[in-house]
């Protein structure tokens, strides 16, 4: 009876190890916002933030991506406003000030740079998070024999 209990626990242990599944994140870039999937199930950005907190290296990249998102939003607003002011002055046959041109061009450059940085940081964060699932734990039964007898051993 004792051997059956031990064998049952051992079988349950092996079944549990083999049924573990990873929660890998997939990102699809959209026009307005990115879409995130965890094991083919769409999740919201808040859920991705919680998942990134579990991995320190991924969380570092994720925070930098969020900072780049904020810079992108600010530079987009500045670029839009200054471009509209320059366009309005050109329609009224007025010569816009050189500073407005510089501000529009500069904010446009910052906007492009921060957008690319944000995407690459998010990609690095997701790859870092997913790399934690690449290390597959292989468990196997190995026959073992010594002076005490013959048996099976778990090899990790």
Is 0.75 surpassed by the pTM of this model? no
Q: Could you list the residue range(s) of the whole structural domain that residue 125 is in?
A: 45-155
Residue 23 counted as domain residue: no
Q: Where are the alpha helices (DSSP H) in 1-155?
A: 2-18, 45-52, 56-91, 98-131
8/4 Cα distance (integer angstroms):
6
Residue 78 counted as domain residue: yes
Specify the number of domains making up the chain: 1
Residue 95 counted as domain residue: yes
CB 96 within 8 A of CB 89: yes
The yes-or-no verdict on residue 30 having pLDDT over 70 is: yes
Q: Where are the alpha helices (DSSP H) in 19-97?
A: 45-52, 56-91
CB 63 within 8 A of CB 78: no
Structure confidence at residue 11 as a pLDDT band (50, 70, 90):
low
* Per-residue pLDDT reduced to its tens digit, 125-147: 999 888 877 666 666 777 887 88
Q: Length of the chain, please?
A: 156
Query: How many other β-carbons are positioned within 10 Å of the β-carbon of residue 155?
Result: 10
Structure confidence at residue 33 as a pLDDT band (50, 70, 90):
confident
CB 85 within 8 A of CB 100: yes
* Per-residue pLDDT reduced to its tens digit, 64-109: 999 999 999 999 999 999 999 988 988 888 887 888 889 999 999 9
Residue 30 counted as domain residue: no
């Amino acid at each position: 009876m004792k051997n059956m209990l031990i064998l049952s626990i051992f079988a349950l242990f092996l079944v549990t190890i083999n049924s573990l599944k990873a929660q890998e994140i997939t990102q699809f870039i959209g026009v307005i916002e990115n879409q995130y999937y965890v094991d083919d199930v769409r999740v919201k950005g808040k859920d991705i933030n919680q998942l990134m907190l579990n991995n320190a290296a991924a969380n570092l990249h994720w925070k930098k991506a969020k900072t780049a998102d904020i810079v992108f939003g600010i530079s987009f607003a500045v670029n839009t406003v200054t471009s509209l002011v320059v366009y309005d002055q050109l329609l009224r046959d007025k010569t816009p000030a050189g500073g407005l041109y510089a501000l529009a061009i500069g904010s446009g450059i910052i906007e492009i740079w921060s957008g690319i940085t944000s995407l690459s940081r998010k990609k690095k964060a997701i790859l870092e998070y997913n790399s934690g699932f690449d290390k597959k734990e292989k468990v196997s039964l190995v026959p073992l024999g010594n002076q005490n007898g013959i048996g099976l051993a778990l090899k990790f």
